[in-house]
Chain A
Amino acid sequence: DVKVTQSSRYLVKRTGEKVFLECVQDMDHENMFWYRQDPGLGLRLIYFSYDVKMKEKGDIPEGYSVSREKKERFSLILESASTNQTSMYLCASSLHRASYEQYFGPGTRLTVT
């Protein structure tokens, strides 16, 4: 079974802090994704990556950056956390570029105070 793990289940940070969220998948998937999930808004794509060191902006990239130095690891960075970035963050991976099935991690609930 594919396993996607995220570094923290819950995280509390202060406004202005730099925040790192890490995601690791163990099935050699090409694609990795970061979403945020907010009530009534569904899952919104922040960034995705289709290969090591490659990244593309999703629908809401402002205030975020990403890093993919190894195939199995995809990091989401909040350069200067703000209260409006309080959310559930979900990482996902998929096997190929045209895969329709994504595998999700358990999520990190980030609170910025």
Chain B
Amino acid sequence: GQSLEQPSEVTAVEGAIVQINCTYQTSGFYGLSWYQQHDGGAPTFLSYNGLDGLEETGRFSSFLSRSDSYGYLLLQELQMKDSASYFCAVRFKGGATNKLIFGTGTLLAVQP
């Protein structure tokens, strides 16, 4: 089967570092993406890992380990505006190449 698992909620304080995990069960996929969605807003693309390792974009970093079937999004120097839902997504091999499967999302609450 193909599934992506994320924690439903994470809480952290301003200025802290938080890690949002994404574990998956699949026979193979092309890469792992992360999206951010503020309450009432549209999901927006944050990052993509095509290869194992760490990708850094400003305060946000994303990591992928295919051997461990695991990835994460790391948010540093948290700000109140980072309060949002975060979704991981993959394109699985063997299916339509343009189809993304999304995780169920993690609601991040940043407290003062």
Contacts and interface: CB of A to CB of B under 8 A. Distances in A.
Interface string A34-62: 01000011111100101000001010000
Interface residues of B, number: 23
Label chain B's interface by main secondary structure.
loop
Nearest to A30: B98
A106 B33 contact: no
Given A45-B99, A48-B96, A101 B42 contact: no
Interface in A85-113: 90, 92, 94, 96-107
A106 B43 contact: no
Nearest to A42: B104
A75 interface: no
A106 B41 contact: yes
B100 A102 contact: yes
A101 B97 contact: no
A105 B98 contact: no
A98 B44 CA distance: 18
B43 A90 contact: yes
Contact of B30 (A4, A48, A50, A100): A100
A81 to B, nearest CB: 23
26 contacts: A31-B98, A40-B8, A40-B104, A42-B87, A42-B102, A42-B103, A42-B105, A43-B43, A43-B102, A44-B102, A45-B99, A56-B96, A56-B99, A97-B98, A98-B98, A100-B31, A100-B33, A100-B50, A100-B100, A101-B33, A101-B45, A102-B43, A102-B45, A102-B100, A103-B45, A104-B43
Interface of A: 4, 31, 35, 40-45, 48, 50, 56, 58, 90, 92, 94, 96-107
Given A103-B45, A106-B41, 20 more contacts: A35-B102, A40-B8, A42-B87, A45-B100, A48-B99, A56-B96, A56-B99, A58-B99, A90-B43, A97-B98, A98-B91, A98-B97, A100-B30, A100-B31, A100-B33, A100-B48, A100-B100, A102-B45, A105-B42, A106-B42
10 closest Cβ pairs, A-B complex: A42-B104, A104-B42, A43-B102, A97-B98, A101-B45, A42-B102, A104-B43, A100-B48, A31-B98, A42-B105
